[in-house]
Amino acid sequence: MVASNYIALVLAAGVAADRTFVVYNACPFTIWPAGRRDCDFTVSNPATQCADGGCNGGLECSTDGGTGVPPATLAEFTLGGLTGDPDYYDVSLVDGYNLPVSITNNVNCSVADCPVDLGPDCPSALIGPYDSTGFPVGCKSACEANLDGDQTNSPNCCSGDYDTPATCPSSGVQYYSYFKDNCPNSYCYAYDESSGTALWECDSSLAADYTVTFCPSSSEDSTNHPVVRGPRMNGTFLL
């Protein structure tokens, strides 16, 4: 799939109510499935086939350990089911950034988004990777960049001695403000729920339909079309 105006999303989970996910690519460049860009699938190592967002398994990400290679913007969902729990959703920058993303819906629940291109102005300690022209297409998290030298015991990673909300406040995460100031409605570090603008919920009885848009700031001028429409599902997944 190489057309620049769509990507594909395949989901599988138990259905509680019919739901629809629509995925738009409003970016002026090709995006491959799973939000990858600048890809060459003739490269033998799946992890390096794309400038960012690459995954194990090549073009078709492996269902076993096929999550994106950081830095990668994630659209995450946990849909409420028969228990009546709400839908939870967020745009996560915990693993860094590679694309502007928004999550909207048809029942007026809150918008989760990071509509800004964080690559060009990314702090020098975090910037990269770069595409084939040398343009920055990613911005690493402080954890992924290993700024404090030990990812297993790090306030940037909320690991080891810092693995609770009390011991890992946002003030201890380097460059947190760069991500949160630019994308206040996104999930910017492991315990960002305390900000009140990281994790969003929607009454599951409304059976909301969701739209994930890449490069949402370009969507008003875009002639791109929905990628996938399918039954909505009950469960947890990410894009």
pTM equals: 0.83
Rounded to an integer, the average pLDDT of 167-184 is 98
For residue 238, is pLDDT > 60? no
d(CA 5, CA 30): 7
> What are the structure tokens assigned to 135, written together?
């343009």
**Residue with token string 């076993």:** 64
What are the boundaries of each domain within the chain?
A: 1-239
Tell me what percent of the residues of the chain surpass a pLDDT of 90: 57
Rounded to an integer, the average pLDDT of 8-36 is 71
The secondary structure of the chain, three-state, reads: CCCCCCCCCCCCCECCCCCCEEEEECCCCCCECCCEEEECCCCCCHHHCEEECCCCCCCCCCCCCCCCCCCCCEEEEECCCCCCCCEEEEEECCCCECCCEEEEECCCCCCEEECCCCCCCCCCCCECCECCCCCECCECCCCCCCCCCCCCCCCCCCCHHHCCCCCCCHHHCCCHHHHHHHCCCCECCCCHHHHCCCCEEECHHHCCCEEEEECHHHHHHCCCCCCCCCCCCECEEEC
pLDDT at 229: 34
d(CA 86, CA 76): 14
pLDDT at 16: 54
For residue 193, is pLDDT > 50? yes
Rounded to an integer, the average pLDDT of 226-235 is 35
Q: Report which residue type is found at 11.
A: L
CB contact burial 119-152 (16+ within 10 A = b; e otherwise): beebeeebbbbebeeeebbbbbbbbbbebbeeee
For residue 75, is pLDDT > 50? yes
pLDDT at 211: 95
Where residue 218 falls among pLDDT bands split at 50, 70, 90? low
Lowest-confidence segment of 79-88, 102-111, 202-211 by average pLDDT: 79-88
Cβ-based neighbour number of residue 224 at 10 Å: 19
pLDDT at 102: 97
**Topology of 1-239 in CATH?**
Thaumatin (2.60.110)
